A and B are shown apart, each in its own frame.
Chain A
């Protein structure tokens, strides 16, 4: 199972919106509405930000939103803040009943 493809880095100024893409195949992203997104800051455990493509867990800011079209999912962070600086990973359930992570995207707030 190959990792899902994400851009290595995305940056934006405070207050701007950024979007991170996550490209897979019809056997994972395209085949199921089980895409999730995780924020990972150094020295901390990953944190669930979006699940089931577009649902937000309780306590996660509504500045974070998710969507999917075909084999590509996207995470949008609006009103970018310094505290959003982290690595972000997408993940998908697969046709093999496994999970696969994306390659990861480093978000930098300029």
Chain B
């Protein structure tokens, strides 16, 4: 079946970087994009950006420009999201989602905690 499997929880110190992976299976990876969405504690869903698995084209949320990089490895059908210069308000659950103009398949989420 179609699924996205994300990497495990991370604990990072302020100023560090984190890289979350999202492995796709059950569909042709390069036929879709992958969005990354996060939810901070007590907050709503926030769209972080999107990458085309076909050609690697990206589009990031303006507030994260310069701190986030999304990549894919088509040989392993895996998408990655790297966030740098972490701050306490980056503490959140991070989701990957298969994307056309909507997000129809979601990973289970990766908890990233930023704490000194």
Cα distance, A9 to B108, chains bound together (Å): 25
How extensive is the interface on chain B, given as a class?
20 to 34
B62 surroundings in chain A (CB, below 8 A) = 1
Total A-B Cβ pairs within 8 A:
64
Instruction: List B residues 71-104 near A (Cβ within 8 Å).
Output: 95, 97, 99, 101-104
- Chain A residues whose C-beta falls within 8 Å of the C-beta of B99 in the assembled complex: 99
- Report B107 CB to chain A, min CB distance, Å: 7
CA distance A100 to B61 in the complex (A): 9
Total chain A interface residues with beta-carbon distance under 8 A = 28
Main secondary structure of the interface of B (DSSP, over half): strand
Bitwise interface map of A from 72 to 110 toward B, beta carbon under 8 Å scored 1, else 0: 000000000000000101010100111111111000000
B47 touches A101 (CB 8 A): yes
Q: Which 8 A-B pairs have the closest CB atoms?
A: A36-B102, A45-B106, A51-B102, A104-B44, A34-B101, A99-B47, A101-B45, A48-B104
Binding site for B on A (CB under 8 A): 1, 3, 32, 34, 36, 38, 40, 44-48, 51-52, 57, 87, 89, 91, 93, 96-104
